[in-house]
Structure formats: C-alpha cells, structure tokens
Chains A and B, each alone.
Chain A
Amino acid sequence: MDLTLDEVKARNAEVISEALSVYPEKTAKKRAKHLNVYEGDKPDCGVKSNIKSVPGVMTIRGCAYAGSKGVVWGPIKDMVHISHGPVGCGQYSWAARRNYYIGVTGVDTFVTMQFTSDFQEKDIVFGGDKKLDKIVDEIQRLFPLNHGITIQSECPIGLIGDDIEAVAKKKSKEYDGKTIVPVRCEGFRGVSQSLGHHIANDAVRDWVFEKGSDKAPLFESTPYDVAIIGDYNIGGDAWSSRILLEEMGLRVIAQWSGDGSLAELENTPKAKLNILHCYRSMNYISRYMEEKFGIPWVEYNFFGPSKVAESLRAIASHFDDRIKEGAERVIAKYKPLMDAVIAKYRPRLEGKKVMLYVGGLRPRHVIGAYEDLGMEVIGTGYEFGHNDDYQRTTHYVKDGTLIYDDVTGYEFERFVDRLQPDLVGSGIKEKYVFQKMGVPFRQMHSWDYSGPYHGYDGFAIFARDMDMAINNPVWGLTKAPWNAGQ
C-alpha cells in the first residue's frame, strides 16, 4: 500500500535516525548534517556538502587525481597523460571509464593506455624531476604524433617537493613550445574528486589558454559555433548529443573532453556559446571563458525526451530563428521514436521506485528520464556535490525525497533495506551489495558498460536497460523454494 506524503516523510526521518544511532556520537553529529528529508518548499536540500569524509566509514568517494586524470584530462585523446608517482593510481583507472574516442591507440591517440613514472623508493628519496624530464624525452621518441603531455600528480609529488612546473616549462622550451601541462591533482588535496576537477580546469586555463592564446583557430568562425563542455563521452554520450546539436543547425567546434583533442580546447574561445552538461566538473572553466572571452554558457540536460526538448529550446534561445526552428524540427523528428520507446517500456516500468547515488550531475539530471518512463526517484545523493548542486536538485526532486550526501556504505545499505526501491542506480562498488540483497541495479557511472544514455538515441537504450534490470527473471529466483516461507 502506498504511503501518504506525511508517512513517507516520517518514515524517511526515522530511517535517518536509525542509521545515525549506530555511529559514535561525534560521527553521528557530523553525518546528521549530510542526511535529510527534502521539504518541497525549500531552496536547497538541507544538507551540508563538499566536506571531508569521516574516516573509517566506507565513503564511496575518490580523490583529486581521479577527478583530474580520470575525469577531465584523461579523455583528451591526442595527449599523453602521465600518472606521475607510484604505479597503482594509473593502473586502477586504466581504461576503466569508457571515454570513447576515434583514433589509432598508441599512435595518434592514447586514452586507453597507462603511462606511469612508476615511482620507486629512490624517486621518493631523491625526487622525481629528473625522471620526469627523461620520461618526456621517451614519450617524444616513442609516441611522436602526440599533441601534448599532461603530468597528473599522485600523492607523493606534492609531499616530496618536486617542481613539475619547472620540468614542464623546460621541456616545453626544448620541444618548440609543446604543450606540457603540470597538474597538481595529488590525491590528498580537497575532500573528493571535486577539487581535482577544479585543479584540472585551472590547468587548462593556465597552460592551454593563457600560454597558447596566440594560436590561430583551425577554421573560419560562424555565428553558430558552440562547444560541448562536461561530456565525457561515456559509451558515446557526447556523440549522441552532438548529432542533435548539428541537426538543429549548430556547429560543434569542441568536445570537452570525451573524444576531445588539444586543438578543440584551443578552439573553444571562438565559441559563441558554451553548452555545459556536467556543471560540477566544468563550471569553473565555463565561468572563466565567460569573463575572459565573453562567451555565455548554458546548462543543459540530455537525459530523457522531456529534458532533451527543454534543453534544445534553451540552447536555441541563444540563437536566431534558424536555430530555434531547427530545435523544433529536431524535437518533432524524434517524437515518434520517443513515443514508441515510451509506449513499449512505460507499461513495464510505471510506478517503479528508484534510489540513486552518483557523482557529477546525475543524481538530479537522470530524474527526468525516469519520470518519462513513469518511474519515481525516492532517494538521491551526490558523491562530491556542492551546495549549488543541491540547490539545482530542488528543481527535480519531489517533496519527501530522502537526500544523502557522501553516503557511507552502511547508510546506503540501511536506506535501501528500509525504502525497498525497485531499482538502485549507483557505482561498481555498490552494484553487487544490492544485487545480493535481491535489488535490481544499474551502474549509473559507466551505464553498466552500455550506453550512450544521452540524447534521443540514448534514451531508447536507457529505457531498455532499466527494463532489463527491473524485469530480469533472476529476481524471482533468489529464494530457494524450500526456504520460501522464511
């Protein structure tokens, strides 16, 4: 039986206090600030965010290196990204994020490779700058078609006092002004991936824009030039987005950073509009380009036909009638496909309840796509969101939604156990926990190796995948028949 709104709120409040009761007092006090039941008339979700994780609680968060190498820089395909420090960080993040790209890997593109300085004890003791100097030479010799190099700092770099900026400058000079970008994304900086995004954005500003601002663009400008910012092309997301923008008459001059190239970063100051998908990871550089080059930016959401149409119109509103008509044409063109997808899947998914816990923009952005399928998101939270994310979330979530910031493994398990959603969307570390509990699950970082989910083409895949998770016959088999009564 469905609970009333008041009952839902009371239940959710109770669930939070139950979870908190297990913590030591000091920790309970800290964690209490990150958990809340959303009150529909409030301007934010009522949780604190972007604060240090509590030790020992099994936070799901990663680090600044993951935010820079793993998210922002790693997908730039024609540059070599050195994981600078011990071998592990580069190894665990090697080709794991499915940032699709077109190129001959190892020859003109390098995304799914693991370049590391593989620090040994002597590098810690004597410093790694000389090794780094030599590594740049070896990259130049063995990968001559690379268009640039980034140095992604791992924890020890900042602790042993290496001067990677000096090495980058020296080597850049030696190689005719080659773009070599030192990034201070040591894993201990900040409280999550988030600072890594910011540091990586700043590195683009300082070492691509500021340094190479005299570079001529590769093309003649048009009034319809835009850049896609904050789409990492996971499973091809940026592609199924780009195609819609081009169909409505815009010209995409850069992708940041999925399937992107150094030249595209350099092209971007010529854009008429920056269109920003992942606000969290790339608002910094968008704001900078607005101030420095006067380029406006607009956030958009390409999950589910309702939000796609809304976003296409919002983007078009920055242009003339040609583009506005183009947006309407695109929306109309895909409407029959969307209607067919919804007609097929909505009856199978109507009324199903979802709990989310993801990073970046997804804890709010995907809600519309679920709603297009008649589903309801009853709990959501961010791994590394800030207050502005939780403000934006209020435009998506319903009154009474359970909100959990930087959720711990314990809390998430308790919440799912009590709320009994029909689907959980989170990451690889959470996937098997909930499947063991008999709860259908989709990875919402990697699309569970499927995708794309962006755009109209992506929504068909999203709908299919949610259906195959929830309506998987295996969920009827979890209880042995002889134990069925237990």
Chain B
Amino acid sequence: MSQNPDKVLDHFTLFRSPEYVDMFENKKAFENAVPVADVQSAADWTKTREYRELNFAREALVVNPAKACQPLGAVFAALGFEGTLPFVHGSQGCVAYYRSHFSRHFKEPTSCVSSSMTEDAAVFGGLNNMVDGLANAYNLYKPKMIAVSTTCMAEVIGDDLNAFIKTAKDKGSVPAEFDVPFTHTPAFVGSHVTGYDNTMRSILEHFWDGKAGTEAPLVREVRDSINFIGGFDGYAVGNLREIKRLFTLMGVPHTILGDNSDVWDTPTDGRFRMYDGGTRLSDAAAAVHAKATISMQEFCTPKTLAYAAKKGHEVVAFNHPMGVAGTDRFLMEVARLTGRAIPEEITRERGRLVDAIADSSAHIHGKKFALYGDPDLTLGLTGFLLELGAEPVHILATNGTPEWQARVQALLDSSPFGRGCHAYPGRDLWHMRSLLFTEPVDFLIGNTYGKFLERDTGTPLIRIGFPIFDRHHHHRYPLWGYQGAMNALVKILDKIFDVTDADTMSPGKTDYSFDIIR
C-alpha cells in the first residue's frame, strides 16, 4: 500500500506505485492490447512524410479542430451587454456545454439559458419553448435584455425566431417593450467567430433599426465618438480594460460594444453577480450616432462592420493587432478618426516595449514557431513574431478562409523572416501534428489543446489562445496595446528560458551553459 495519510498521494503519483503498475500490466491480458512493438512502429510511421501526405489527403474527417460552433460566439457577444441574459433556442445540452467551456477558461460563472427543446419540439416546433422560456427567464433572472440565438436543432427544423418572439410578447412572456434581439446561429455554418458577428449585428440592428419593427429606426446624428468592438477574445477581460485605459489617456469619446471585461471578472466578496458591467443598453443604442466603428478582429465582425458602414460609419478593421507596429497602426487610426493626439505617456509605453524587445530579441531572433488559433489572432501573432525576428513557419486556422490565407501570405511576404513560412486554412491540429514532425520548429503557440502536440512532438507550447483551461488567470492580462505586447513577449521569453535551462541542467554534461545570467 502506497497511500500515506501524512502526505496524501493523488493521481499524479499514486498510480506510479508498483502495485498499480503491476495491475496495469496484468490488465492488458483482457484488453486485446496491440503488442508494444507494433504500437511503436505505428507511432513512428505517424511521424513520416508518407503519413503527412495521407493525413493532408483527408477530405471528410476532422481531428482535433481549433474552432467551436456559432452559438458559443453568440453567447460571448450577448454577455458583453449590460444585464443581458443569453437565451439559446434549441437543445439544452448545448447551453450546458457553452457555460462549462467559458467557466473552464475564465474560472468564472457564465449565465445562459436554453429553451430546452426535446423530441416533441422537433416535430411541432419550439414555439411553446420560446413562450415559456422567455417568461421564466424574465421572471427568474430579471435581465435588462434577453439575446436569443439558436442551436443547430432549431435551425434544422426551421424555427422562425422573429415570429416566435412576437408571439411570446403577445402572450405576455415579457413586456412588449422589453429588448429581445435575436439572430440565427446555425452550428453548421462558420464557427464561433461567425456566431459572435451575427449576435453583435443583431443587437445593434435591434437598437438602431426600430427593435424588430416595433419602433421607428433611430435617425443618426453624427457625434464625436467612436465605437470599439473587440470580437471573440479569450483575453477580453485584460484586453478591453487596456483599450479603455488607452482611450482614456487619449481622451477619446468611445463606446465599447460588447464589454465582457467585468462579467467574467467579478470579485469574491460574498455576493454572486449574475450581471456585471457590460455595454449599457442606452449606449448601445446611441452608438448609431458614432462617427466610426473599429473592430479589432475583422474576420470576427464582417457583417457587423458592413451594417455599421451601411449606417454611415467609417469602419476600420484590424486583425488582432499585436506588437509595436500593430499597436502603432491601431493608435494612429484612433488618432486620425477622433482628432486626438497620442499622448506622451503612451509614447513612453511604446518606448518601453521597444526597449524590452531590444533587450531580449537575441533569444528570439531566428527561432522557428508554429502557431494556430482564430484567423485574426494568428494574423496578429504573425505580425508580432516577424517584428521580433522570429520565423512563423506554420500558421494554421481551422476556421481560416482562403482570404485569410492570402492575408497571412502578404504579411509573410513583407518580411525576410516570413520566407518559407506557410498558412494553412481549414486544417486541424492533427495536420499540425504532421507538420511538426516533418518540419520541426522550436516552439508552438496555441491554446490548451496544444499540449497534446507538445506531448507527441516535443515542441514546447506557449499558451496564447482560447481556450486556456490548464493555466490560470492569463485572461486577466492584455495582449493588446504596448503593455499587452509586453505580456506576450514575457510569456514567450519565459518559455524560451525555461526550455534553455531544462536543456542545460544535466550535471557534468551540459550544465556549463546553465547560466545565471541570460
């Protein structure tokens, strides 16, 4: 017996004790286990060029994708508004999944309800679920707004949200004037970034265009303010606070559309806040009067931006700008749009980032990276890596399009460090596994699922992306702005130094390089 009441052993060490190791070995007799040698040769084969070609010839099977489905993004967008309860019309299991997924990343509660459609609703439609669901959600959770989206079940049977919500209001589920923006978010179209876009557009359309025909559309009077949309972003808590700080320093009148920074970062002080912060609904409505709308994630907001443009806004889209040049472009656009100067304090922050890069770039220069994630994040990261003199050899986005690929390629072509680097749209992490075996790199940048690639290929993982389940609190630190780039730089450097140390700590063999000064 290995268990010890003084120092309790849990799964990390308990199962390494001899009685368990023997037990595992004996169990194999009942498993029809593949002989060890055959497993080894198959494992070796998966590392080959031949396997890579078979792997890339896949047409139907998707293995370990780096994307999620539309309604996840819908819930994200809805939670960025004051007192808003996301309501997903369709099967209830989906909502359990979204809530778990966000809570595992942010380590925060995530409130969202489902209309809990079951087999009878699949036959007769989910009207009753909508009528009862809105009434229950309204009475129970006292939201200021309920933002409706759909699961694939409701989409396949073709439920008509507009008619259903009207009927629900007629039946008194919620007051007639209560805000219930809605949008269709089929899981079989696009990805979570598409769901974000659809929901953001639907909420703006609700306020700007007469609340589904119940009021007159707002008439735009151009004001000296800009709208800012962050997009689906695992770092929303840190990033949006950083953006607000920069805007305040610049004196920019602004509205953050979809401000998730407080709802996923509430204090532990004895009270559960189901709603906290978020874009005020009156501000969301007044945002129609803005002179311009900025999106930090172009591929996450195409319909939203097109809608803002239709309303007469100048729209400016970025691709998750990171680093010196990315932040420069962002701030200069903000300055141009608003006529506000970039203050000395921000210029000094820029200088500090350049200083840090100058101090450290010798350790990054020429290092090869593989990275994956959402289209805009991978573009932003690629720009930053090129700026650091690193080589972003494999850039992959499962929800990337040929247009994204062209955009990445243009970026790569703009730098000598981009030579021989490639973008892979629509590919998954099993493709990435083949890339890492056949064209190895020094580091991998990705979300938590990247740890499986790190295990299989030995490529050290730097965690930047969504979701991050196995490291805590990263979402509190921004990636945007010069300070955000500093955080990303430190994250990358820490991993590089950790790997260097681990690689030089063999006593009497390699530890001459186990330096205390690097």
Contacts and interface: CB of A to CB of B under 8 A. Distances in A.
A87 B91 contact: no
Contacts of A218: 29-30, 32
Contact of A55 (B4, B14, B38, B116): B116
B65 A480 contact: no
Interface string B69-95: 111100000000000000100111110
Nearest to A437: B272
A166 interface: no
Interface string B423-438: 0000000100100000
Given A112-B452, A409-B111, A432-B109, A267 B271 contact: no
B99 to A, nearest CB: 5
Interface string A187-199: 1111101000000
A408 B140 contact: yes
A118 B38 CA distance: 31
A104 B11 CA distance: 18
Contact of B5 (A144, A262, A410, A460): A460
A62 B104 contact: no
Interface residues of A, number: 128
Given A147-B32, A261-B31, A436 B268 contact: yes
Contact-residue bracket for chain B: 35 or more
A62 B95 CA distance: 8
Contact of A456 (B3, B27, B452): B3
Contacts of B111: 58, 409
A208 interface: no
A244 to B, nearest CB: 11
B54 interface: yes
Given A53-B116, A188-B119, A246-B23, A22 B139 contact: yes
Contact of A432 (B60, B103, B157, B187): B103
Contacts of B153: 155-156, 159, 187-188
B97 A88 contact: yes
A141 to B, nearest CB: 6
A116 interface: yes
A96 B100 contact: yes
A24 B96 contact: no
Q: Kindly name the residue among A66, A112, A160, A187 whose own CB sees the greatest number of chain B CB atoms within 10 A.
A: A187
Contacts of A102: 24, 27
Contacts of A94: 64, 449
B188 interface: yes
A95 B63 CA distance: 13
A131 B60 contact: yes
Nearest to B43: A107
A141 B54 contact: yes
B506 to A, nearest CB: 27
A35 interface: no
Contacts of A23: 136, 139-140
Contacts of B93: 61-66, 89, 187, 193
Nearest to A112: B452
B169 to A, nearest CB: 14
A264 B29 CA distance: 10
Interface string A140-163: 011011010000001110111000
B62 A116 contact: yes
Interface in A60-115: 60-66, 78, 85-89, 91-96, 100, 102, 104-108, 112-115
Contacts of B433: 106
Interface stretch (B126-134, B243-251, B355-363, B373-381): B126-134
A344 B98 CA distance: 40
B188 A123 contact: yes
Nearest to A94: B449
Interface of B: 1-6, 8-11, 14-15, 19-20, 23-24, 27, 29-34, 38-39, 42-43, 46, 51, 54-55, 58-65, 67-72, 87, 90-94, 96-101, 103-104, 107-119, 121-122, 129-130, 132-141, 151-153, 156-157, 186-189, 191, 266-273, 430, 433, 449, 452, 455-456
| Shortest 3 CB-CB contacts between residues of A and residues of B | A63-B93, A88-B69, A55-B133
Given A78-B32, A429-B110, A474-B268, 20 more contacts: A56-B87, A56-B132, A59-B96, A64-B93, A86-B188, A106-B456, A118-B62, A187-B91, A187-B93, A235-B11, A242-B23, A255-B27, A334-B1, A340-B5, A429-B99, A429-B103, A436-B273, A451-B10, A461-B9, A463-B8
12 contacts: A26-B132, A56-B132, A78-B31, A87-B69, A88-B70, A124-B156, A142-B61, A155-B91, A188-B91, A243-B19, A436-B268, A438-B270
